[in-house]
Structure 1
Amino acid sequence: MHPNRQAAVSSAVVLALAAGVLVGCERGASTGAGPSSAGPTKAGCPTVLARDKAAVQRAEKTNFTWNGPTTGPRAASGKKIVYVAQTMTNPGVAGAAKGVKEAAQAIGWNVRVIDGQGTPAGIQAAFSQAIALRPSGIVIGGFDPHLTSQQVAKANAEHIPLIGWHAVDSPGPSKDPKLFSNITTKVQDVAKISADWIITHSHGNAGVVVFTDASIPFARNKSELIKKELATCPSVKLLAEENIPISDTSSRTPQEVSSLLSRFRDRWTHSVAINDVYFADAAPALRAARKKGGAAPYNIGAGDGDPSAFQRINSRQFQTATVPEPLAQQGWQIIDEFNRAFSGRPASGYIAPVHIATAANSHGVTSWDPPGYRAAYRKFWGR
């Protein structure tokens, strides 16, 4: 799913089970022997494996109907929205912005996107510029609002509704910072299902590397939750956690992946990243090491499910699965939440369920776009 991507190095994280069978060290410290393949060897967690397999099967389903809002206020007229983006190079941020613009066109509003360029100073300047435009509402697109506390306070004082996209940990309204709503899937659900997929795919025998950005509270929390869920299966080994800011993935990921391959070799069977972009940048190093695109390490992105991630999955090129955000749907939801705010209504409270996309169920598409929401929103907007 997020927030400010400035470089920061997280402190060492050590997870240990009582039996001492799982240890994970920040920046890739080895945990010793791990599995040599993801084959169906005997798992050390049969109960967990059975539970996780059922959860993964539910998340992989694509045949369901729209379960979001079907009623709401009629469309307000003449509104102007500013989308302040953490960085438009983040595919999730850009995808949500695209959905906002599409929905704004449908409802008859104007949208302007201001790119924060991925730096604290840039995001603060973009937010200040947004306020100066005196918009009807402002979207906090993928960064921690505490980074822009002065601008948030000013917008609140001027009664400009703020809606976040992956701005804070939890979906829905927020009191501190004051947001009318925050649009995201539940980070707990995304983290859990991505770890469950690894446990299921490896039959409970995986050597895992976690890629995260510790400079983003949302992302850091997600990776901690992933590790916690992986730890429910004692035969899954956390080999390393790599802290690479999203803004630095293109420059740092290839080198880090080469180092991981050298150190862990075939013990590295699976990876999970807080954003799919890590695997775009890992691919050259994996290819250079003569790894096959459809073989280990099997990679799953715990967000955001951008088009390039689907392309890698569908072509079996160094990514096997993703837990995609329904980016277009979330953009439409942002516009609907603003319409509720302008009408004096409460937030809808809708939270999209988690989904796992693989080559087997994506059918060649390049996004997760659940059916039904466009018609539902247009109907009660009167558009």
Structure 2
Amino acid sequence: MALTVLALLGGMPSALADPSLDSLALAQQRAADALEAVTVWRGPTSGPKASPGKVIAFIAEDLRNGGIAGALRGAQEAAKVVGWTVTVYDVAGSDAGRQQALRNVQILHPDGVIFGGFNAQNYAPWIDNVVGLGIVVVGWHAAFEPGFVPGTQLFTNVASSAREVALAAASFAVVKSGGTAGVVIFTDSRFAVAQAKADDMATIIRNCAGCKLLSIEDLNLDQVQAEMPARLASLDRRFGDAWTVSLGINDLYYDAMASIPDARADLINISAGDGSRSALLRVGTGLGQTATVAEPLNLEGWQLIDELNRAFHNEMPSGYAPHARLLTPDALTGTVGEDFTYDPPNNYRQMYRQIWGRE
């Protein structure tokens, strides 16, 4: 069984709402837990054998998002192992592209569909329709939390716990600032998972006696490159030196900051997901980003294939929720390869191969 969020974050859900607790000490414990290396496999150890020849459609919300791109790479890698074909539809964040992709997938009539990075509940009627045609649908970051998604026939949602990720990022901000952070949070309220992360991070900052939440900035991920320069200038005018920490629900905010020549170099920039290549490069060099909470994206791609295989055999979802890890410069060694991707050394490829009969 996977570690639960409560175990990882101290076992006290009330800690989110109780400002009387020692916020700095609690943040230090959360950050220490999130920094622990992931070396032991806590996912499934049994399941159905995989048959070749399946066709899978991966509908990506936006492949400029390193998290979605990383999960896709993992799914493609795993699909090759079992002899499946993956057809990719990148909607590039547009409603028109999304609707066209949904129509194209129905024409393709694949065996399975992966929703990559958008809210399954918004597309429940479409999911109902294709499930009625015998097509299995799974999600990656298709809801706030992993697993069952109420109101949909999504087989399961693959993700690390969004709360785990958010609390790790915000707690590290408190620790890194010595309990005196002046924080701006960047979010994209179009996505339930993003807003939930922002809300949890805001609660942690508000519960820190010496910290101050300056602003929550709602900035669409697909507009961040165009809008970030003006937004940063406005924030500097409003808050000046009182602004010491930024928290983003995704690394894309810091991709945009890195391209702005006069962006402030003194900010502590921490991302609550997803551990993109560009983010890990910035963290490793110490330029433009202090830390990211990285999900094991490649592993999650393998899990997507495993969950589809379980559905094809009329079995239950695995129930696995991979542990995200807080990555700072010191934590990169041994977990990040030369290609700057987070890939935990927990033997997940071999474990899935054994389950599928592909040793």
Whole-angstrom distance in 1 between the partners of 2:276 and 2:77? 17
Whole-angstrom distance in 1 between the partners of 2:21 and 2:61? 42
Q: Is 1:330 equivalent to 2:304 in the alignment?
A: no
Map of 2:262 onto structure 1? 288
Q: Is 1:165 equivalent to 2:144 in the alignment?
A: no
Map of 2:97 onto structure 1? 122
Q: Tell me which of 22, 40, 50 is aligned to 1:47.
A: 22
5 Å matches for 1:154-303? 154-285=129-260, 287-288=261-262, 291-292=264-265, 296-303=266-273
Map of 1:10 onto structure 2? none
Q: Tell me which of 320, 327, 333 is aligned to 2:290.
A: 320
Map of 2:350 onto structure 1? 375
Map of 2:277 onto structure 1? 307
Change in CA separation of 1:203 and 1:46 when aligned onto 2, cut-off 3 Å: farther
Q: Does the 8 Å CA contact 1:45/1:235 hold for their aligned counterparts?
A: no
Measured after TM superposition, the shift of residue 276 of structure 1 is 0.5
Whole-angstrom distance in 2 between the partners of 1:276 and 1:172? 24
Q: Does the 8 Å CA contact 1:66/1:370 hold for their aligned counterparts?
A: no
Whole-angstrom distance in 2 between the partners of 1:264 and 1:141? 36
1:63-99 deviations in Å (ceiling 9; x for gaps) = 5212111211111222111101111121111111111
What TM-score comes out, normalization by structure 2 length? Answer: 0.90
Measured after TM superposition, the shift of residue 153 of structure 1 is 2.4
Q: Does the 8 Å CA contact 1:254/1:284 hold for their aligned counterparts?
A: no
Q: Does the 8 Å CA contact 1:59/1:355 hold for their aligned counterparts?
A: yes
Whole-angstrom distance in 1 between the partners of 2:138 and 2:39? 27
Map of 1:350 onto structure 2? 320
Partner AA of 1:176 in structure 2: G
Partner AA of 1:137 in structure 2: G
Whole-angstrom distance in 2 between the partners of 1:56 and 1:270? 16
Partner AA of 1:169 in structure 2: F
Map of 1:11 onto structure 2? none
Q: Does the 8 Å CA contact 2:58/2:113 hold for their aligned counterparts?
A: yes
Partner AA of 1:360 in structure 2: D
Measured after TM superposition, the shift of residue 45 of structure 1 is 7.7
Measured after TM superposition, the shift of residue 178 of structure 1 is 1.3
Measured after TM superposition, the shift of residue 106 of structure 1 is 1.0
Whole-angstrom distance in 1 between the partners of 2:275 and 2:45? 26
Give 5+ residue unaligned stretches, structure 1.
Answer: 1-16, 19-43
Q: Does the 8 Å CA contact 1:95/1:327 hold for their aligned counterparts?
A: yes
Measured after TM superposition, the shift of residue 221 of structure 1 is 1.7
Q: Does the 8 Å CA contact 1:124/1:148 hold for their aligned counterparts?
A: no
What TM-score comes out, normalization by structure 1 length? Answer: 0.84
Q: Does the 8 Å CA contact 2:296/2:324 hold for their aligned counterparts?
A: no
Q: Does the 8 Å CA contact 2:124/2:151 hold for their aligned counterparts?
A: no
Measured after TM superposition, the shift of residue 241 of structure 1 is 1.2
1:115-144 deviations in Å (ceiling 9; x for gaps) = 112112211210221121111100011011
SS in 1 for 2:89: strand
What percentage of aligned pairs have identical amino acids? 37
SS in 1 for 2:316: coil
Whole-angstrom distance in 2 between the partners of 1:161 and 1:271? 39
Partner AA of 1:348 in structure 2: S
Map of 2:8 onto structure 1? none
Give 5+ residue unaligned stretches, structure 2.
Answer: 1-16
Whole-angstrom distance in 1 between the partners of 2:69 and 2:323? 21
Whole-angstrom distance in 2 between the partners of 1:376 and 1:324? 21
For the aligned residues, what is the CA RMSD? 1.8
Partner AA of 1:160 in structure 2: I
Instruction: Give the number of aligned pairs.
Output: 337
Whole-angstrom distance in 2 between the partners of 1:165 and 1:212? 19
SS in 2 for 1:323: strand
1:8-55 deviations in Å (ceiling 9; x for gaps) = xxxxxxxxx99xxxxxxxxxxxxxxxxxxxxxxxxx988221122122
Which segments of structure 1 move beyond 6 Å, counting only runs of 4 or more? none
Whole-angstrom distance in 2 between the partners of 1:170 and 1:61? 22
Measured after TM superposition, the shift of residue 175 of structure 1 is 4.1
Partner AA of 2:61 in structure 1: Q
SS in 1 for 2:209: coil
Measured after TM superposition, the shift of residue 229 of structure 1 is 1.8
Whole-angstrom distance in 2 between the partners of 1:46 and 1:202? 18
Q: Tell me which of 83, 88, 106 is aligned to 1:113.
A: 88
Q: Does the 8 Å CA contact 2:244/2:268 hold for their aligned counterparts?
A: yes
Whole-angstrom distance in 2 between the partners of 1:195 and 1:140? 28
Measured after TM superposition, the shift of residue 260 of structure 1 is 1.3
Map of 2:7 onto structure 1? none
Whole-angstrom distance in 2 between the partners of 1:253 and 1:317? 18
Measured after TM superposition, the shift of residue 263 of structure 1 is 2.4
